[in-house]
C-alpha cells in the first residue's frame, strides 16, 4: 500500500520534471508563434536548420564540450584516484569550493586572469579559453562522481595485484581502472553536459570565434519566446536523450 | 568510437573552420545586420568576416576594455563613444577613406556627442517611449501614463536604470540626465510608488506579452515596439510630451585592430544606401543613412515627425559619482 | 606516485581557479574605474559598504528564499529518492528519467516555465477554458514563480546525494524493523531518516548554495522586481560597472558558502561523500 503511494508520487514528480519540456517540444510543432495551437508545422525546425549562427554555435559547442569533457575526465579521474589512496583535504576543499562558486564570479575572475596574462603573452580569447574555463569547473563534477564509485570499491583488490608484483601504475590501469570504467563514462557524460549547457562563464571568456549554442539561444530568447528556440531545445533534448540511452546500453553490457 | 577518434574528429572540425583569407572580426548587437550583406562583403573583398553578437554595451565593454579582445569593429551606443575614446580604446576614423559619410542623414553628420565624427559612424538609432494597447487604453501623452492605477499589473518598465530612472525624472519635470541628488531622490520615490502597479521590469522580453495582450502599457524602445506593432495592429507607440531619450549605435574601430584598412572598407560598405537599407530592414530599426531612409517605408514609430523628434534627448555619459549614486538608487528601487 | 595522480588537478585548479580568485580578492580592495575595470588606490570601502542595511536586507531575502527552496526540494526530493533507491533493476532508468530534463540548457528550462505561466500561457488558458477563472491569474513575476524555478532547477541536486545514501541502506534493516512490528511511519522516522541524514544534509547544502547565488531565475521568472545576492553581484559587473564592490560582494557570498561547506566537511558526511 505504502509502496504504491510512493510509486504514484514518484510518477507525479517525474511528470513535473518533464512536463515543461514536453510542452515546449509540443509547441515547437505549432505553426503559430503563440501558445494557441494553430496547426502542425515543421516551419520552426527548418528555420533552426537554416540559421547559420545556430549551426556555427552548435559546432563550437560540440568541439568545446568534447575537448573539455575529455581533459576534465582524465584529470578528474586521476584526482579521484589519488584522493581515494589517501585524502588530500586542500584539493578536495578547492574542488568543492569551485562547485559552489557563483558562476559570474568564476567567469569574471577567469576573464581578469586571461586579460592580465595576455598583457605578457600575445594571445587572445578564443575557443581554448572557453575549454580552459570549462575544464576548471568540470573537474569537481568528475572527481565527485568517480570518488562515489571508488568508495564502494574494495581496496584489497589493488593491493593483491601489487602483492603479486604489479607496479602501482599497472595495478591501477589493469585492476582499478576497468572496475570504475562505468563511473568514468558517467562522469565524462556529466562533464559533457555541464560544458554544453554553460552560458554565464562561457559568454565572459568566449573570444572572437567561439560563440556557443547557449549564447545564440540566449540572444534569441531575450528577444521573446521564439518557437525557433523551442525547436532547438526539442532537438537538444532528443539528442541528449539518445546519448543517455546509448551510454546506458554500453554500461549494461 | 574511441576517445582518440573523437579527438581526431574534433581536431578536424577545428582545422576545417580555419580559413586562409584575410579576416575581419565584427562585434555587433544581435539581429543588427542582414546576414546576406556579410556574405556580400566577403565575396566582394575576398575576405572572411567573423561576426559575433552581444546584448548590452557592458558585455561588449567588458571584452574590449583589456585592449586585446581580437575584435576590429564594434557598435557602441553614442554616449559610450567619448568614454571609450578617452580610455584609448578607439581608433580615430580616417574620413579620406570614408567618402560615403555624405550618405548620412543631415541629423547625424555632426552629432553633439561626436561633432567631427572622429570616433564612430552613426549606424542605427531608436528612442524610448510608451507602447500601449489601443483597444484597452487611450494613447498616453505623458510618462505619467505609466502610473495609471487602472492598469495595475498590466504595465512594465525597462529593466535598465538609465531609462527607468530617466522616465521618473522626466515625469517630475526634471532633466533626463539629472545629477541633482534631491531630484534623484524624488525620482526614486516615484519609481517605488510605481513598482506596486508594475507587472515587471522587462526589456525585449515584453514584446510577446504586448502582442498577446497580457501587457497593456510598456516603456519600450521604438525598435522593439515596431516589431510588436507588426504582430498586433491594436498596439500603438507614443513619444511622451516631457521628452524622451534617443540612442544611436555607431560603428567604431578599436585601436587594438590590426586591420585598420579593412575595417574602414567595412564601414564604407555599411554606408552604401542599399546595404544600409537591407540592414535596417532586418534590424527593423531606424537607419542613420539618408538615401537608405527613402528606400524604406517611413514608419512614424521608427522615424518620428520633426515636431516629435525635437523633443528627443541624446543622453550623455554621467560623471562617475552620479553613476554610483544612481546605481544605489536602482538597487533601492529593486529591493523596495 | 600518488602525488603524480593529484598533480594535474592541483595544477589546473591552482592556475585556473585559485589564481583568478586571488585576482578577485585584490579587486575587492581597489577603486571602481569609470568605465568598468579597477583603479588604485587600495581601499576597504567595498567591504564596509556591505554592512549597509540595504545590502543586509538583500542578503536576508536571499537566505530566506534559498531556505524555502531547500525545504521544498527536500520535501519533494526525499520520497522520490526513496522510491528510486528501492526500484531494484529499474533504478538506473528512473535516475536517468529524473536527470533527462537537465540535459537541456538551464535557459531553455526557465523559458519553458515562462511559456507555461504567462497570462496567455498553458495554465491560464486551460483554467479559463474550464471556466474556473474569469481573468488570467498573475502567475509570473512574483516570489512564487522564482521559488518554483529554483526548486525545479535544483531538485536533482538534492535527489542525487539523497539517492546515493538511501541506496546503501541495507534492506535487511527495514525488514528487521518490520519484523519487530514497526509500522511504516515509525520505520521511516526511526530507521530511514537517521541513516539518511548525511544525504539529507549534503543535498540541502548542494541546493542551498546555488540558490543563494542564483541570478538568472530571479531575473527571468521574478521579472526583475526583486533583488537577490546573485543579481546584486551580477549588476555590479554589468550595468553598475563597479567591479571592486562586485568582487567584495562575491567574496562575501563565497565566504558564506565556504562556511557551510566547512561545516559539511567536518561532519561525518564528508567522509561519506569524498
Q: Give me the CATH number covering residue B169.
A: 3.40.190.10
Provide mean pLDDT across the span B106-127. Answer: 94
Whether residue B13 has pLDDT greater than 70? no
Question: Is residue B104 within 8 Å of B288, Cβ to Cβ?
Answer: yes
CB contact under 8 A, A70 and B55: no
pLDDT band at C35 (very low <50, low <70, confident <90, very high): low
pLDDT band at B16 (very low <50, low <70, confident <90, very high): very low
Same domain, B200 and B316: yes
Question: Is residue B141 within 8 Å of B135, Cβ to Cβ?
Answer: no
Q: What is the interface pTM, i.e. ipTM, of the complex?
A: 0.84
Residue tagged 567604431 (cell numbers): B252
User: E strand or H helix at C38, and its extent?
Assistant: strand C38-39
Neighbors of chain A by Cβ distance (3+ pairs < 8 Å): B, C
Query: Three-class SS of residue B65?
Result: coil
Instruction: Give me the pLDDT at residue A167, please.
Output: 81
Q: Does A79 touch chain C (CB under 8 A)?
A: yes
Q: What are the distances in angstroms from CA B298 to CA B207, B281, B286, B293, C182?
A: 21, 12, 9, 7, 81
CA-nearest residue to B67 within chain C is C37
The set of cell numbers assigned to C118 is 504567462
Instruction: Give me the pLDDT at residue A248, please.
Output: 67
- Best probe of the A interface among C7, C12, C20, by most A CBs < 10 A, is C20
- Best probe of the A interface among C14, C16, C213, by most A CBs < 10 A, is C16
Neighbors of chain C by Cβ distance (3+ pairs < 8 Å): A, B
**Chain C contact set for B61 (CB, 8 A):** 35-36, 241
Q: Does C173 touch chain A (CB under 8 A)?
A: no
What is the distance between the terminal CA atoms of chain B, rounded to a whole angstrom? 56
Q: What are the distances in angstroms from CA C199 to CA A43, A183, B125, C93, C99?
A: 46, 19, 56, 21, 18
Closest to A109 (Cα-Cα) out of C8, C232, C257, C250: C250
Instruction: Give me the pLDDT at residue B221, please.
Output: 94
In the beta sheet, which residues pair with residue A169? none
Residue tagged 574602414 (cell numbers): B264
The set of cell numbers assigned to A117 is 596574462
Same domain, B177 and B37: no
Does some domain include residue B164?
yes
Whether residue C66 has pLDDT greater than 90? yes
Beta strands in chain B (DSSP E): 23-29, 48-54, 73-74, 90-91, 121-133, 155-157, 198-201, 217-221, 235-238, 244-254, 286-287, 312-313
pLDDT band at B186 (very low <50, low <70, confident <90, very high): very high
Question: Is residue C224 within 8 Å of B201, Cβ to Cβ?
Answer: yes
Whether residue B250 has pLDDT greater than 60? yes
Instruction: Give me the pLDDT at residue C271, please.
Output: 54
Question: Is residue B239 within 8 Å of B142, Cβ to Cβ?
Answer: no
CB contact under 8 A, A222 and B52: no
pLDDT band at B259 (very low <50, low <70, confident <90, very high): very high
Beta strands in B208-328 (DSSP E): 217-221, 235-238, 244-254, 286-287, 312-313
Give the strand pairing for B121-133 and B286-287.
antiparallel
Provide mean pLDDT across the span C234-254. Answer: 85
Residue tagged 578607439 (cell numbers): B90
CB contact under 8 A, C36 and B65: yes
**Chain C contact set for A139 (CB, 8 A):** 9, 12-13
Residue B131: give the domain boundaries.
126-245+312-334
In the beta sheet, which residues pair with residue B27? B52, B74
Q: What is the pLDDT of residues C122-142, one digit of tens each?
A: 888 888 888 888 888 888 898
Share of chain C above pLDDT 90, in %: 16
Whether residue C10 has pLDDT greater than 80? yes
Segments in B77-221 forming alpha helices (H): 78-86, 161-171, 181-195, 206-211
Segments in A119-212 forming alpha helices (H): 127-151, 155-163, 168-171, 177-197, 200-205
CA-nearest residue to C247 within chain A is A105
Question: Is residue B247 within 8 Å of B162, Cβ to Cβ?
Answer: no
Does some domain include residue B37?
yes
Instruction: Give me the pLDDT at residue A34, please.
Output: 61
Structural domain total, chain B: 2
Lowest mean pLDDT across A49-53, A119-123, C32-36, C64-68:
C32-36
Instruction: Give me the pLDDT at residue C268, please.
Output: 58
Specify the CATH architecture of the domain C53-273.
Answer: Orthogonal Bundle (1.10)
Q: B48 or C104, which is more confident? A: B48
Interior/surface letters A152-166, b for 16+ CB within 10 angstroms, e for the rest: eeeeeebeebeeeeb
- Measured in angstroms, the CA of B204 and the nearest CA of chain A are apart by 5
Specify the CATH architecture of the domain A53-252.
Answer: Orthogonal Bundle (1.10)
Distance CA C71, CA A87 (A): 32
Same domain, B119 and B134: no
Does some domain include residue B5?
no
Instruction: Give me the pLDDT at residue C137, please.
Output: 82
Handedness of CA A172, A176, A178, A184 (dihedral sign): negative
Q: What are the distances in angstroms from CA A7 to CA A2, C71, C127, C169, C173?
A: 9, 21, 28, 19, 21
What residues in chain B have their Cβ under 8 A from chain A's Cβ atoms? 3, 6-7, 10, 13-14, 17, 25, 27, 30-31, 35, 50, 52-53, 55, 59, 62-63, 66, 68-71, 203-205, 207-208, 211-212, 231
Q: Phi and psi at residue B31, in whole multiples of 5°?
A: 40, 55
CA-nearest residue to C59 within chain B is B335
Whether residue C33 has pLDDT greater than 90? no
Question: Which stretches of chain A drop beneath a pLDDT of 50?
Answer: 1
Q: What is the pLDDT of residues C155-207, one digit of tens each?
A: 988 888 888 778 777 677 767 777 777 777 777 777 777 777 777 887 888 78
What residues in chain B have their Cβ under 8 A from chain C's Cβ atoms? 56, 58-59, 61-62, 65, 80, 83-84, 87, 153, 156, 159-161, 195, 198-202, 205, 209, 212-214, 320, 323-324, 327-328, 330-332, 334-335
Same domain, B25 and B130: no
Which range in A105-114, B8-17, B30-39, B73-82 is most confidently predicted, on average pLDDT?
B73-82
Q: What are the distances in angstroms from CA C94 to CA A14, C68, C188, C202?
A: 9, 26, 22, 21
Q: What is the pLDDT of residues B131-175, one digit of tens each?
A: 999 999 999 999 999 999 999 999 999 999 999 999 999 999 999
Same domain, B211 and B321: yes
CB contact under 8 A, C273 and A197: no
CA-nearest residue to C81 within chain A is A10
The set of cell numbers assigned to C207 is 541546493
Provide mean pLDDT across the span B271-296. Answer: 93
Instruction: Give me the pLDDT at residue B277, please.
Output: 95
Residue tagged 538608487 (cell numbers): B329
Q: What is the pLDDT of residues B215-241, one digit of tens each?
A: 999 999 999 899 889 888 999 999 999
Q: C88 or B260, which is more confident? A: B260
- Measured in angstroms, the CA of C43 and the nearest CA of chain B are apart by 16
Question: What average pLDDT does the structure give for chain B?
Answer: 90
pLDDT band at C32 (very low <50, low <70, confident <90, very high): confident
- Measured in angstroms, the CA of C232 and the nearest CA of chain B are apart by 8
Does some domain include residue B35?
yes
Which range in B54-63, B179-188, C154-163, C216-225 is most confidently predicted, on average pLDDT?
B179-188
Instruction: Give me the pLDDT at residue C145, please.
Output: 92
CB contact under 8 A, B161 and C239: yes
Instruction: Give me the pLDDT at residue A45, please.
Output: 87
- Measured in angstroms, the CA of B277 and the nearest CA of chain C are apart by 31
Closest to C251 (Cα-Cα) out of C216, C213, C195: C213
Same domain, B189 and B224: yes
Whether residue B12 has pLDDT greater than 50? no
**Chain B contact set for A35 (CB, 8 A):** 212
Cβ-based neighbour number of residue C108 at 10 Å: 24
Instruction: Give me the pLDDT at residue C267, please.
Output: 64
Considering only CB atoms, B10 lies closest to which of A34, A67, A223, namely A67
- Measured in angstroms, the CA of C65 and the nearest CA of chain A are apart by 16
Whether residue C273 has pLDDT greater than 60? no
Q: Which of residues 139-168 of A touch C (CB under 8 A)?
A: 139, 143-144, 147-148, 151-152, 168
Instruction: Give me the pLDDT at residue C274, please.
Output: 45
DSSP string, A29-65: TBSSSSSS---B--HHHHHHHH-HHHHHHHHHHHHHH
Distance CA B149, CA C271 (A): 58
Instruction: Give me the pLDDT at residue B2, please.
Output: 45
Instruction: Give me the pLDDT at residue B137, please.
Output: 94
Q: Phi and psi at residue C172, in whole multiples of 5°?
A: -60, -30
Instruction: Give me the pLDDT at residue A1, please.
Output: 44
Same domain, B93 and B172: no
Give the strand pairing for B155-157 and B217-221.
parallel
Handedness of CA B165, B167, B171, B175 (dihedral sign): positive
Closest to B189 (Cα-Cα) out of B172, B212, B211: B172
- Measured in angstroms, the CA of B83 and the nearest CA of chain C are apart by 7
Instruction: Give me the pLDDT at residue A251, please.
Output: 60
Provide mean pLDDT across the span B323-328. Answer: 90
What is the domain partition of chain A in residue ranges?
Answer: 1-41, 53-252
pLDDT band at B212 (very low <50, low <70, confident <90, very high): confident
Question: Is residue C105 within 8 Å of A24, Cβ to Cβ?
Answer: no
- Measured in angstroms, the CA of A223 and the nearest CA of chain B are apart by 5
CA-nearest residue to C123 within chain A is A35
CB contact under 8 A, B199 and C226: no
Same domain, B68 and B35: yes
Q: Phi and psi at residue B104, in whole multiples of 5°?
A: -65, 145
Same domain, B116 and B255: yes
What is the distance between the terminal CA atoms of chain A, rounded to a whole angstrom? 35
Same domain, B78 and B201: no
Amino acid at each position: 500500500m505504502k509502496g504504491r503511494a510512493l510509486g504514484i508520487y514518484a510518477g507525479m514528480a517525474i511528470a513535473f520534471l518533464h512536463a515543461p519540456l514536453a510542452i515546449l517540444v509540443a509547441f515547437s510543432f505549432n505553426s503559430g508563434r503563440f501558445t494557441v495551437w494553430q496547426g502542425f508545422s515543421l516551419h520552426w525546425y527548418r528555420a533552426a536548420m537554416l540559421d547559420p549562427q545556430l549551426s556555427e554555435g552548435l559546432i563550437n559547442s560540440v568541439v568545446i564540450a568534447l575537448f573539455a569533457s575529455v581533459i576534465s575526465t582524465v584529470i578528474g579521474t586521476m584526482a579521484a584516484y589519488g584522493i581515494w589512496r589517501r585524502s588530500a583535504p586542500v584539493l578536495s576543499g578547492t574542488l568543492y569550493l569551485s562547485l559552489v562558486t557563483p558562476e559570474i564570479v568564476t567567469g569574471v575572475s577567469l576573464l581578469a586572469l586571461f586579460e592580465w596574462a595576455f598583457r605578457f603573452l600575445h594571445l587572445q580569447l578564443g575557443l581554448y579559453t572557453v575549454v580552459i574555463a570549462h575544464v576548471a569547473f568540470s573537474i569537481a563534477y568528475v572527481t565527485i562522481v568517480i570518488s562515489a564509485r571508488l568508495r564502494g570499491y574494495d581496496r584489497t583488490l589493488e593491493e593483491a595485484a601489487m602483492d603479486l608484483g604489479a607496479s602501482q601504475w599497472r595495478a591501477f590501469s589493469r585492476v582499478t581502472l576497468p572496475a570504475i570504467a562505468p563511473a568514468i563514462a558517467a562522469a565524462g557524460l556529466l562533464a559533457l553536459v555541464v560544458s554544453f549547457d554553460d552560458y554565464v562563464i562561457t559568454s565572459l571568456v568566449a573570444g572572437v570565434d567561439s560563440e556557443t549554442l547557449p549564447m545564440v539561444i540566449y540572444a534569441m530568447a531575450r528577444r521573446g519566446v521564439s518557437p525557433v528556440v523551442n525547436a532547438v531545445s526539442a532537438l537538444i533534448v532528443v539528442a541528449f536523450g539518445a546519448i543517455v540511452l546509448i551510454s546506458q546500453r554500453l554500461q549494461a553490457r | 568510437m574511441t576517445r582518440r577518434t573523437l579527438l581526431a574528429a574534433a581536431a578536424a572540425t577545428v582545422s576545417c573552420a580555419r580559413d586562409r583569407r584575410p579576416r575581419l572580426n565584427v562585434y555587433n548587437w544581435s539581429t543588427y545586420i542582414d546576414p546576406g550583406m556579410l556574405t556580400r562583403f566577403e565575396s566582394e573583398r575576398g575576405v572572411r568576416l567573423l561576426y559575433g553578437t552581444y546584448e548590452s554595451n557592458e558585455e561588449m565593454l567588458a571584452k574590449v576594455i583589456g585592449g586585446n579582445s581580437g575584435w576590429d569593429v564594434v557598435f557602441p551606443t553614442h554616449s559610450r563613444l567619448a568614454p571609450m575614446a578617452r580610455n584609448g580604446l578607439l581608433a580615430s576614423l580616417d574620413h579620406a577613406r570614408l567618402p560615403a559619410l555624405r550618405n548620412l542623414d543631415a541629423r547625424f553628420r555632426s552629432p553633439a556627442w561626436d561633432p567631427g565624427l572622429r570616433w564612430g559612424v552613426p549606424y542605427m538609432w531608436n528612442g524610448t517611449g510608451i507602447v500601449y494597447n489601443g483597444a484597452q487604453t487611450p494613447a498616453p501623452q505623458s510618462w505619467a501614463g505609466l502610473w495609471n492605477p487602472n492598469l495595475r499589473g498590466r504595465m512594465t518598465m525597462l529593466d535598465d536604470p538609465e531609462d527607468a530612472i530617466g522616465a521618473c525624472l522626466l515625469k517630475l519635470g526634471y532633466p533626463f540626465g539629472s545629477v541633482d541628488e534631491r531630484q534623484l531622490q524624488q525620482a526614486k520615490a516615484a519609481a517605488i510608488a510605481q513598482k506596486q502597479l508594475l507587472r515587471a521590469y522587462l526589456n525585449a522580453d515584453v514584446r510577446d506579452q504586448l502582442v498577446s495582450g497580457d501587457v497593456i502599457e510598456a516603456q519600450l524602445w521604438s525598435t522593439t515596439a515596431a516589431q510588436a506593432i507588426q504582430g498586433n495592429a491594436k498596439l500603438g507607440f507614443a513619444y511622451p510630451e516631457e521628452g524622451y531619450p534617443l540612442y544611436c549605435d555607431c560603428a567604431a574601430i578599436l585601436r587594438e585592430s590590426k586591420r585598420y584598412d579593412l575595417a574602414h572598407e567595412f564601414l564604407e560598405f555599411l554606408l552604401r544606401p542599399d546595404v544600409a537599407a537591407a540592414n535596417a530592414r532586418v534590424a527593423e530599426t531606424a537607419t542613420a543613412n539618408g538615401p537608405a531612409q527613402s528606400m524604406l517605408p517611413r514608419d512614424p514609430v521608427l522615424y518620428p515627425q520633426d515636431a516629435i523628434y525635437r523633443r528627443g534627448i541624446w543622453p550623455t555619459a554621467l560623471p562617475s559619482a552620479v553613476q554610483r549614486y544612481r546605481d544605489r538608487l536602482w538597487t533601492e528601487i529593486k529591493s523596495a | 606516485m600518488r602525488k603524480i595522480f593529484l598533480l594535474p588537478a592541483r595544477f589546473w585548479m591552482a592556475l585556473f581557479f585559485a589564481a583568478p580568485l586571488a585576482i578577485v580578492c585584490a579587486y575587492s580592495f581597489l577603486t571602481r574605474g569609470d568605465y568598468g575595470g579597477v583603479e588604485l588606490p587600495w581601499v576597504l570601502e567595498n567591504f564596509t559598504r556591505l554592512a549597509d542595511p540595504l545590502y543586509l536586507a538583500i542578503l536576508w531575502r536571499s537566505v530566506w528564499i534559498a531556505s524555502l527552496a531547500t525545504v521544498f526540494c527536500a520535501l519533494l526530493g526525499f520520497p522520490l529518492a526513496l522510491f528510486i533507491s528501492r526500484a531494484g533493476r529499474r533504478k538506473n532508468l528512473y535516475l536517468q528519467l529524473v536527470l533527462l530534463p537537465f540535459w537541456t540548457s538551464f535557459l531553455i528550462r526557465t523559458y519553458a516555465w515562462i511559456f507555461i505561466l504567462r497570462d496567455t500561457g498553458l495554465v491560464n488558458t486551460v483554467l479559463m477554458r474550464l471556466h474556473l477563472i474569469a481573468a488570467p491569474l498573475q502567475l509570473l513575476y512574483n516570489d512564487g514563480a522564482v521559488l518554483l524555478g529554483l526548486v525545479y532547477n535544483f531538485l536533482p541536486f538534492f535527489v542525487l546525494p539523497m539517492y546515493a545514501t538511501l541506496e546503501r541502506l541495507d534492506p535487511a534493516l527495514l525488514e528487521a524493523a518490520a519484523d519487530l512490528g514497526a509500522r511504516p511511519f515509525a520505520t521511516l522516522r526511526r530507521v530511514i531518516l537517521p541513516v539518511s541524514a548525511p544525504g539529507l544534509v549534503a543535498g540541502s547544502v548542494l541546493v542551498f548554495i546555488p540558490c543563494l547565488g542564483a541570478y538568472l531565475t530571479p531575473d527571468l521568472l521574478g521579472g526583475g522586481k526583486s533583488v537577490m545576492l546573485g543579481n546584486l553581484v551580477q549588476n555590479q559587473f554589468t550595468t553598475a560597472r563597479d567591479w571592486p564592490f562586485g568582487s567584495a560582494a562575491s567574496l562575501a557570498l563565497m565566504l558564506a558558502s565556504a562556511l557551510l561547506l566547512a561545516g559539511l566537511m567536518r561532519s561525518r558526511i564528508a567522509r561519506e561523500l569524498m
